[in-house]
Structure 1
């Protein structure tokens, strides 16, 4: 069980062949690496599964390899066009997940240098950034000299809310307890990728970013940033895995108002609980959650309902089909949300 979706293994992957599994997308959500938050968002699981399927089928049209096999209905894996009702269950190909050892308070990625060939998850999250909002982690990392502008492909330091002519490609860990940002060279080294393979990751991410941006621009939304996960198939061909293009994987805005999981981040960011998580992470990056002094409180009921409406409406409008009935238009919902969160943060 993951923080927001569950996995049932039907067939284990081997060195030679991918396995098969079932993702069940839940109504849970996670922010700030906490894991499952107190609330469940109605219809979220189905809306994420449908939207994810929509973008996987777009990848198929582009000829980009991925692990999607269809959404389940009456025991069969179906494409969206064949589906009669919303489904939260997706059939996927499975790759080997090779977890780095944790020794002496650090992760050891040496196993990735041992000629793994193919059929495994790359232990990275690849992040594209089209805009750098004021609260972006990029500014904190620059200020603390963790990175320099050249690491991000920039000649000069960026400024808050800068719209980038060329998207930045960023990297973080995938299999550690708490996500850790990486410089490109470190990302390449821990994954034992060649320069050509790293360039391919960047190139495919750029293509996917452009496709997602074009799709969301049709309903008036800006694609500010998002994450993609990859693995290698049996012949070491690059393969998109997990899910992409959803409100959990990307950050979208409409007139600077978030249309994504960022809504919940904005609500919780000024709470005592969030302050407690930050303090706990400073003391112990690995076991911080066990040592956090506070637990998150539930969302206000009105905001929780509006967030559910955002997920449903966005899926309806992007896919062009009314999967969820009696849902307001996205723009109407966002007008109501604006009064429920601190939009100046």
Structure 2
């Protein structure tokens, strides 16, 4: 369960077999690790599902292993649900189809399931040995693999590292955006309450049986595929992340790939991603954003995992015009990226112009 998508579980995974299930995408959104925010963005769930499915199918064409099975055809799902007395496997009802065969923008993605053991912790000390003892050799790797094609002014990379750490020919970070000739790949924690970036040695230990070099190689290939596709839609792919599972000695791409929530894209310099909503909150609700940061720092100082209970403010709902603009941005961006009019939405150029003026 996440803040913006839910699970259907049809068959549980075991130590030696993958399970089956699906992600059900909602119109909820989350910024600054808050979890579910007070509003919904219409069609956001379908946008993420469609982009994720499209990218998984691109990756499969390139020979990259994934946990993706297809999308659940909404019309077929409703017909099947009305007839079925008991839950049954989607593949037996013919409901799982490639994106191109979906009758409408899908909100459910069929996937293979791996094991996700509990990650015990005391305060901010997490027991990854216990995680892997229970996981065996069929598990979700408790890492996020982050790739960056540029380093914007506000990037955490500037605070944590020097240009020389990445082979860049600067004594210090320049004032403007740094465009990278080669992507920078980093690793961060997945299941800790406050995610943190890791050294390669730390990441290698947390990855368990999975090979850290293979993880990096897969991330670079995903980045290449998404970057090239984005360029065809006049989008610039700035950065993103992947999550992976390990099964039968192989790293497979999991979760969702290359969407406007997992990745940052720009169109002629304007953000076309969740980053737009993040920046809008920074401008219009700075007290809440500052309270979130203060709570995270206090939790770190106290060595406790739950920072949200220490936060002294809560976010306010967005204005209706902002919700509408965000909806059009997600929908228009998805249409442009997949090269198909899945949604009734303005041209991407027009959607971006509205957001730029907010």
How does the TM-score come out when normalised to structure 2? Answer: 0.88
Q: Distance in 1 between matches of 2:109 and 2:311?
A: 34
The equivalent residue for 1:319 is 338
2:255 is equivalent to residue 242 of structure 1: yes
Q: Is the 8 A contact 2:194 2:296 kept in 1?
A: no
The equivalent residue for 1:145 is none
Where has structure 1 moved over 3 Å in runs of 4 or more?
112-117, 148-160
Residue number among 293, 306, 312 corresponding to 1:293 in the alignment: 312
Q: Distance in 2 between matches of 1:153 and 1:10?
A: 47
Cα distance, 1:218 vs structure 2: 1.1
Q: Is the 8 A contact 1:112 1:190 kept in 2?
A: no
2:349 is equivalent to residue 334 of structure 1: no
> Structure 1 residues 152, 18: CA separation in 2 closer, same or farther (over 3 Å shift)?
farther
> Structure 1 residues 172, 91: CA separation in 2 closer, same or farther (over 3 Å shift)?
same
> Structure 1 residues 112, 236: CA separation in 2 closer, same or farther (over 3 Å shift)?
farther
The equivalent residue for 1:230 is 244
The equivalent residue for 2:87 is none
> Structure 1 residues 94, 152: CA separation in 2 closer, same or farther (over 3 Å shift)?
farther
> Structure 1 residues 116, 297: CA separation in 2 closer, same or farther (over 3 Å shift)?
closer
Aligned pairs for 1:259-274 (under 5 A) are 259-270=272-283, 271-274=286-289
Larger helix fraction of residues: 2
Residue number among 263, 271, 282 corresponding to 2:297 in the alignment: 282
Query: Where in structure 1 are there 5+ consecutive unaligned residues?
Result: 143-147, 341-345
Residue number among 123, 133, 156 corresponding to 1:137 in the alignment: 156
2:218 is equivalent to residue 204 of structure 1: yes
Q: CA RMSD in A?
A: 1.8
Query: Where in structure 2 are there 5+ consecutive unaligned residues?
Result: 78-94
Q: Distance in 2 between matches of 1:126 and 1:98?
A: 20
Describe the SS at the equivalent of 2:309.
coil
Cα distance, 1:179 vs structure 2: 1.4
Q: Distance in 1 between matches of 2:191 and 2:134?
A: 19
2:36 is equivalent to residue 20 of structure 1: no
How does the TM-score come out when normalised to structure 1? Answer: 0.91
Q: Is the 8 A contact 2:115 2:135 kept in 1?
A: no
Q: Distance in 1 between matches of 2:270 and 2:138?
A: 40
Q: Distance in 1 between matches of 2:265 and 2:181?
A: 18
Deviations 1:92-151 (A, max 9, x none): 100101232102541121135649552210000000000000000111223xxxxx5565
2:155 is equivalent to residue 100 of structure 1: no
Aligned residue pairs total 331
Q: Distance in 1 between matches of 2:226 and 2:33?
A: 25
Deviations 1:292-337 (A, max 9, x none): 1110011121111011001111111222221112x11111111111
Q: Distance in 2 between matches of 1:48 and 1:302?
A: 21
Cα distance, 1:153 vs structure 2: 5.4
Q: Distance in 1 between matches of 2:226 and 2:250?
A: 22
The equivalent residue for 1:118 is 137
Cα distance, 1:185 vs structure 2: 1.7
Describe the SS at the equivalent of 1:92.
strand
Describe the SS at the equivalent of 1:14.
coil
Q: Is the 8 A contact 1:151 1:184 kept in 2?
A: no
Cα distance, 1:72 vs structure 2: 0.7
Q: Distance in 2 between matches of 1:91 and 1:256?
A: 34
Q: Distance in 2 between matches of 1:290 and 1:114?
A: 31
* Structure 1 stretch displaced more, 106-115 or 289-298: 106-115
Aligned pairs for 1:35-50 (under 5 A) are 35-50=35-50
> Structure 1 residues 185, 155: CA separation in 2 closer, same or farther (over 3 Å shift)?
farther
